[in-house]
C-alpha cells in the first residue's frame, strides 16, 4: 500500500484501537471519511471519546463484531499473536499493516519532522507542533499523548508538514523517512526487543538516522554527539551545552525561565509554563525547529508561556496552599529522576511522596538498580506491584526486587486497591503518581479526595 492507495480505503479496522499511537491514526482515517471500527481489551476515557467521535469499538474477542468489507487492518505489536481477531484476519487474507507502517505511508507524501528518543519524544513533538502552529505553520501532528493545548493526540493541518513521534519500540521508527529529525535520548530500554544497548544503538537509532531524506537535518542531544559523527548536517542541542542551547535556567514567577542561544539567534528571558530542566531541554529542540521553519521570536515566546504540556507528563492534577498532586508517565529510571528533580526545583522545602508502579517484568529486571537509585531521591516511597502489560511473569522479578535495593528506609509495598487509604493516612504535602501502567485509573479518586478536603477520614 502506498500513499495514493489511502484514498481507496473505505473501511478500516484497528486491533488495539485504544493505544495512544493507534488512536491517532484512527482519528486520521475517520477525519478522511473512512468508516473506523476497532477492538480493545477495556473501555477507557480515550476509547469512549473515539466512540463519541463516531467510531465503533467492541471489547471482547468476538469476530462476529468485525464488519464486512474491511479494506485495511491496522494492528499494534502490543496485541498478542494469538488474539482471535488477528488470527481471523490472517486466516482470511485481509491486508494487515503495523501501526508504524501506516504512519510511514501517511508521512511519505509529506515533509516530516520526526522526534525520536527513549524519553522526551512525546513532550518534544507536542512542543514542536504547538510552536509551529502558533507561528503560522499549519502542520499535521501524530502525538504519543493527549496534548493539553489540542485536547487530542492528532491534529489535522493544511500545510505539507507533519510532526510525528518516532517510536523505537519494535524498530517502528524505521518506517519513517524524515526531512528533520531529533534524537532526545538513547538510554537502554526495550531490551526485550534489542537484546543489548549496542544493538539498540546500531539497529535502532543509527538505522533511524540513516533514514533521513537527502539534505535532511539531524539534531541530537549533545551527550549523544559521538555516536553520530559519520552523519552530515548533524547539529547538537542541550542545556548549557551544544550548538543550540538553553542557559541561565531559573524559576521566576512560577515559570521555568531561560535564555536560548544558537549560532545565529539569541533570545533571553524565555518562560516555559511546563516545569523541569528536562522540559527546558525539550523546548530547546522545539525552538530550533520552529526557527528553522521561520517562526518568529514573538510567537515562540507566547507559545512557550501558553504550552500546557501533555496529559500524564508532569501533569499538575491538584494544587492548593498546603498540598500538590502531580501525575507523570515516568517508567524508566531517567524519567523518574527528571520528574522527581522537577518537583524538587518547584517545591524545595516540601516533603515529596512518590507512588511508583513498575511497568513490565523485563524492564524491572533490566533496571532494578536504576529504579532503586531514582526512587531514593524521594522523601517517601510507596511501591505498587508490576504492571505486566503484554508480558508473562519472570521468576524472581517483582516489586520487592526494587524495594530491597533501595537505601531509603521510608518505603512500603502497597496493593493498588489499598493505595487511596494509604495516601489518606499519610497526608502527603507533595504527591507524585509515577508509571506507565494502569496507575492512571487512580488519578480521579485521589483528585476527588483532595478536592473534598483531603482529610484522613474522608
Sorted by sequence, the CB contacts under 8 Å of residue 49 that are 6+ apart come out as: none
pLDDT recorded at residue 418: 97
DSSP string covering 388-436, please? -TTPPP-TT-SHHHHHHH---SSEEE--GGGHHHHHHHH--SEEEEE-S
**What percent helix, strand, coil does the chain show, rounded to 5?**
40, 25, 35
Q: Copy the grid coordinates of residue 311.
A: 496529559
Q: Are the C-beta atoms of residues 214 and 233 closer than 8 Å to each other?
A: no
Q: What is the 3-state secondary structure (H, E, C) of 263-300?
A: CCCEEEEEEECCCCHHHHHHHHHHHHHHHHCCCCHHHH
* Domain definitions of the chain by residue range: 9-97, 109-306, 315-451
* Superfamily covering domain 109-306: Mur-like, catalytic domain (3.40.1190.10)
Sorted by sequence, the CB contacts under 8 Å of residue 451 that are 6+ apart come out as: 318
**Phi, psi angle pair for 168, to nearest 5°:** -80, -15
Give me the tens of pLDDT residue by residue for the chain, a chain 458 residues long. 555 578 889 999 999 999 999 999 999 999 999 999 999 988 988 999 999 999 999 999 999 999 999 999 999 887 888 999 999 999 999 999 999 999 999 998 899 999 999 989 999 999 999 999 999 999 999 999 999 999 999 999 999 999 999 988 778 899 999 999 999 999 866 666 777 888 888 888 999 999 999 999 999 999 999 999 999 899 999 999 999 999 999 988 878 999 999 999 999 999 998 888 999 999 999 999 999 999 999 999 999 999 999 988 899 999 998 999 999 999 999 999 999 999 998 898 999 999 999 999 999 999 999 999 999 999 999 999 999 987 899 999 999 999 999 999 999 999 999 999 999 999 999 999 999 999 999 999 999 999 998 888 76
Q: Are the C-beta atoms of residues 127 and 117 closer than 8 Å to each other?
A: no
How far apart CA 316 and CA 69 sit, in angstroms, is 45
pLDDT recorded at residue 2: 57
Other beta carbons within 10 angstroms of residue 235's beta carbon come to 18
Other beta carbons within 10 angstroms of residue 239's beta carbon come to 19
Q: Are the C-beta atoms of residues 404 and 368 closer than 8 Å to each other?
A: no
- Residue position matching grid coordinates 483531603: 454
Q: Looking at domain 9-97, which CATH architecture does it have?
A: 3-Layer(aba) Sandwich (3.40)
How far apart CA 24 and CA 43 sit, in angstroms, is 17
Q: Looking at domain 315-451, which CATH architecture does it have?
A: Alpha-Beta Complex (3.90)
pLDDT recorded at residue 456: 81
Closest CA to 312 of 9, 20, 63: 20
pLDDT recorded at residue 172: 87
User: Which residues is 98 bridged to in the sheet?
Assistant: 75
How far apart CA 277 and CA 266 sit, in angstroms, is 19
Amino acid at each position: 500500500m502506498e500513499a495514493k492507495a489511502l484514498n481507496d480505503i473505505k473501511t478500516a479496522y484497528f486491533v488495539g484501537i485504544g493505544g495512544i499511537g493507534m488512536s491517532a491514526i484512527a482519528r486520521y482515517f475517520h477525519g478522511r471519511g473512512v468508516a473506523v471500527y476497532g477492538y480493545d481489551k477495556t473501555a477507557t476515557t480515550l476509547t469512549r471519546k473515539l466512540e463519541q467521535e463516531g467510531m465503533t469499538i467492541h471489547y471482547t474477542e468476538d469476530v462476529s463484531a468485525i464488519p464486512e468489507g474491511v479494506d485495511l487492518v491496522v494492528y499494534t505489536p502490543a496485541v498478542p499473536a494469538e488474539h482471535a481477531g488477528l488470527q481471523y484476519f490472517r486466516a482470511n487474507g485481509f491486508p494487515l499493516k503495523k501501526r508504524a507502517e501506516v504512519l510511514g505511508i501517511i508521512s511519505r507524501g509529506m515533509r516530516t519532522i520526526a522526534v525520536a528518543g527513549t524519553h522526551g519524544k512525546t513532550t518534544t513533538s507536542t512542543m514542536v507542533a504547538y510552536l509551529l502552529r502558533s507561528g503560522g505553520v499549519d502542520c499535521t501532528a501524530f502525538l504519543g499523548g493527549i496534548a493539553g493545548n489540542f485536547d487530542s493526540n492528532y491534529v489535522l493541518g493544511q500545510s505539507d508538514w507533519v510532526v510525528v513521534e518516532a517510536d523505537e519500540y519494535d524498530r517502528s521508527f524505521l518506517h519513517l523517512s524524515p526531512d528533520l529529525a531529533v534524537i532526545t535520548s538513547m538510554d537502554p530500554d526495550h531490551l526485550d526487543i534489542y537484546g543489548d544497548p549496542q544493538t539498540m544503538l546500531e539497529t535502532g537509532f543509527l538505522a533511524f538516522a540513516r533514514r533521513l531524506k537527502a539534505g535532511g537535518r539531524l539534531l541530537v542531544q549533545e551527550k549523544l554527539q559521538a555516536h553520530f559523527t559519520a552523519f552530515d548536517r548533524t547539529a547538537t542541542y542541550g542545556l548549557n551545552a551544544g550548538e543550540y542551547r538553553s542557559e541561565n535556567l531559573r524559576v521566576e514567577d512560577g515559570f521555568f525561565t531561560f535564555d536560548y542561544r544558537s549560532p545565529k539567534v539569541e533570545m533571553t528571558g524565555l518562560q516555559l509554563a511546563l516545569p523541569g530542566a528536562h522540559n527546558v531541554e525539550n523546548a530547546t529542540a522545539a525552538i530550533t525547529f520552529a526557527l528553522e521553519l521561520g517562526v518568529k521570536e514573538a510567537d515562540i515566546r507566547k507559545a512557550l508561556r501558553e504550552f500546557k504540556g501533555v496529559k500524564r507528563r508532569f501533569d499538575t492534577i491538584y494544587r492548593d496552599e498546603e498540598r500538590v498532586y502531580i501525575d507523570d508517565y515516568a517508567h524508566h529510571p531517567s524519567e523518574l529522576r527528571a520528574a522527581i528533580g522537577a518537583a524538587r526545583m518547584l517545591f524545595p522545602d516540601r516533603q515529596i511522596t512518590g507512588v511508583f508502579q513498575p511497568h513490565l517484568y523485563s524492564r524491572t529486571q533490566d533496571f532494578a538498580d536504576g529504579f532503586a537509585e531514582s526512587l531514593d531521591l524521594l522523601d517517601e516511597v510507596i511501591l505498587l506491584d508490576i504492571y505486566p502489560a503484554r508480558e508473562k511473569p519472570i521468576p524472581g522479578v517483582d516489586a520487592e526486587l526494587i524495594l530491597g535495593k533501595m537505601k531509603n528506609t521510608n518505603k512500603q509495598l502497597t496493593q493498588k486497591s489499598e493505595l487511596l487509604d494509604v495516601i489518606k493516612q499519610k497526608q502527603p504535602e507533595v504527591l507524585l503518581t509515577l508509571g506507565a501502567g494502569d496507575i492512571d485509573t487512580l488519578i480521579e479518586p485521589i483528585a476527588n479526595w483532595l478536592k473534598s478536603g483531603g482529610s484522613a477520614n474522608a
